[in-house]
């Protein structure tokens, strides 16, 4: 059979698979990551308002009638009497019912961790003390 022709193969041309670029997808993921990192807050930031006397003469006048809380490494003292943090909150809370504008002075001793002082300040703020000041030893 010479001269016989075969029909052409009925085949579809090979389709190219579309290439999907991952670069825009990665860009979007990084933009979202940065957005959520900047928009999120992982810590509970709270502000504690404290008043500091401007001059030494006004400091002496402002301590009159104020309650003094001393924070020692081993105890907390209210008017030189050792108290627990809960007892301190109770006693100051009772005093605030009588005198709502009661001034409270907090005097941390040397070597007291800052967190212990902040715990006392937080507790005082939670019971409603509005006028509190940090003071330091007269020697320094």
d(CA 69, CA 88): 9
d(CA 139, CA 110): 11
Both tokens assigned to 14: 């090979």
| Terminal-residue alpha carbon distance, the chain | 118
Predicted confidence at residue 7, as pLDDT, reads 60
Q: Is 85 in contact with 74 (CB distance < 8 Å)?
A: no
d(CA 17, CA 31): 29
pTM over 0.85, yes/no: no
Predicted confidence at residue 133, as pLDDT, reads 86
Answer whether CATH 3.30.565.10 is correct for domain 56-134.
no
Give the closest residue to 50 by CA, choosing from 111, 107, 121, 101.
121
Average pLDDT, integer, range 73-79: 90
Higher confidence at residue 13 or residue 20? 20
């Amino acid at each position: 059979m010479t001269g016989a022709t075969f029909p052409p193969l009925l085949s579809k041309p090979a389709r190219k698979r579309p290439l999907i670029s991952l670069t825009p997808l990665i860009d979007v993921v990084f933009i979202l990551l940065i957005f959520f990192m900047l928009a999120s807050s992982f810590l509970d930031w709270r502000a504690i308002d404290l008043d500091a006397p401007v001059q030494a003469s006004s400091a002496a006048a402002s301590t009159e009638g104020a309650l003094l809380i001393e924070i020692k490494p081993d105890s907390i003292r209210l008017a030189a009497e050792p108290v627990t943090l809960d007892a301190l909150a109770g006693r100051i809370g009772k005093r605030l019912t009588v005198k709502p504008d009661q001034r409270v002075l907090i005097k941390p001793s040397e070597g007291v961790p800052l967190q212990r002082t902040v715990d006392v300040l937080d507790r005082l703020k939670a019971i409603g003390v509005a006028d509190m000041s940090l003071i330091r030893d007269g020697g320094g």
